[in-house]
Structure 1
Amino acid sequence: EGLQRTDWDWLIYPEGLYDLLMRIKKDYPNYNKIYITENGMGYKDEFEDGIIMDKARIDYIKVYLEAISDAIADGVNVKGYFLWSLMDLFSWSNGYNKRYGLFYVDFETQKRYPKESAYWYKTVSETKVII
């Protein structure tokens, strides 16, 4: 109780990722390296005049990147991090109802629009600084 949740009622708990990374380090001391794949969140993006402000997605990614950074500082060999997903997509469980990507897809025209999170993540990727 008291934990943040996404628009789709998923828990936001970056401490769990940190704990898991530390457990792998402890329980499997001979592991080679770790890649984090498909980390992200569904969000009710609002598309207004080609602009999509998705600060909640930025906040979500930021706390998970910080947890990974903490684990690296504590000796975990994390070699890669991949967002889920680059673009909004079809989901087998909910069709097109949830938005996941850094780029908004107009499913009628197939035109793509970068969200606020795309610009933020580009800066983080280039500078390697979580802002």
Structure 2
Amino acid sequence: MFELDPACLELEITEGMMQDFDSSLPNIRRLKELGVKISIDDFGTGYSSLSYLKVLPIETLKIDKSFLDDSLESFQGQALVKTIIDMGINLKFNVIAEGIEDRMQVEFLLSQGCLVGQGYFYSEPLSATECEAFFQKGLSPK
């Protein structure tokens, strides 16, 4: 039988879970007690209220792609992304940017202190077999 160390598993809290917050919170806390890591997906949109940051036992904020899409287009877009990154860092959360599509976004995120990201810039979604081949080939973006 294969056993997974719970610390190797990170689950994302999605908007659907937040719609029934009162019944979801005890389950999220039980998972945390087991050692599972918890992240908030699509932070800054929908039901991801700032008040959840005080209540939820999370390690990671995942910045929604919609913020990144216009981050280089306007001062406000840049300021919002920077604010989310700064807040996450100040609260000692990991911060992940979702939806990275080009090098300019990578450079902006790095300059703001966001060191982890995901998106088509790095790779399209992969099957398990394709993922294994990707890592064997090396980790260089397209």
TM-score interval (norm. to shorter)? 0.3 to 0.5
The structure whose RCO (Cα within 8 Å, separation 6+) is larger is: 1
**Which has more helix, going by share of residues?**
2
